[in-house]
């Protein structure tokens, strides 16, 4: 094999490997939480997540809910600290992801990153009542997108 041919095939291999190693951001999806139901009281979001998952690393979750008004109940998005606080809907150590006014227009976007433990999402309104009685909670452990030719 000539030197230039070898160099060319080497370059091609390098390009191929670089492409294969780069994160497939073009494959990343935007998922509206709850689908057409959006983010509201009384819909089973953990069942929705189980039926619509798995979700992949770099996918974006979009939480859509109306800002507070006379005709709608306010909602929010919190990240629970661990499985126990998720199970019990205890918001004491939860982290605010989106406030009551953040779900309007295009919605509140959250990019799923690589993680060792699941994300535990919940609505934080009425001191956990929306979480416990309104079923506004679900867990997600994003998985890698593996697409090999």
| Chain residues 73-112 in contact with Cu ion, contact rule CB under 5 A | 75
Q: Pick from 61, 90, 125, 135: which binds Cu ion (CB under 5 A)?
A: 125
Spatial strand order of the sheet with 30-32 comes to: 30-32, 60-63, 108-111
Q: Pick from 97, 130, 135, 142: which binds Cu ion (CB under 5 A)?
A: 130
Binding region for Cu ion (CB under 5 A) out of 18-26, 30-38, 101-109, 130-138: 130-138
Beta strand pairing status for 30-32 and 60-63? parallel
**Nearest alpha-carbon partner for 85 in 127, 43, 51:** 127
Considering beta carbons, is residue 63 or 142 the nearer one to Cu ion?
A: 63
Q: Output the six-digit token pair for 68.
A: 């507070």
Q: How far is the CB of 121 from Cu ion (least distance, A)?
A: 11
Q: How far is the CB of 31 from Cu ion (least distance, A)?
A: 19
Residue 137 to residue 63: CA distance in whole angstroms: 12
Rule CB under 5 A: which residues touch Cu ion? 75, 123, 125, 130, 136
């Amino acid at each position: 094999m000539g030197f230039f041919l070898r160099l060319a095939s080497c370059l091609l291999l390098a390009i191929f490997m670089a492409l294969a190693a780069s994160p497939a951001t073009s494959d990343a999806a935007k998922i509206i939480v709850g689908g057409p139901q959006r983010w509201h009281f009384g819909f089973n979001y953990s069942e929705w997540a189980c039926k619509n998952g798995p979700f992949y690393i770099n996918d974006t979750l979009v939480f859509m809910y109306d800002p507070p008004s006379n005709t709608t109940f306010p909602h929010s998005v919190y990240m629970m600290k661990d499985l126990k606080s998720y199970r019990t809907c205890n918001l004491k150590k939860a982290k605010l992801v989106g406030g009551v006014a953040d779900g309007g227009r295009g919605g509140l976007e959250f990019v799923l990153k690589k993680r060792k433990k699941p994300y535990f999402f919940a609505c934080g309104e009425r001191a956990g009542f929306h979480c416990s009685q309104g079923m506004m909670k679900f867990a997600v452990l994003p998985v890698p997108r593996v697409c090999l030719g």
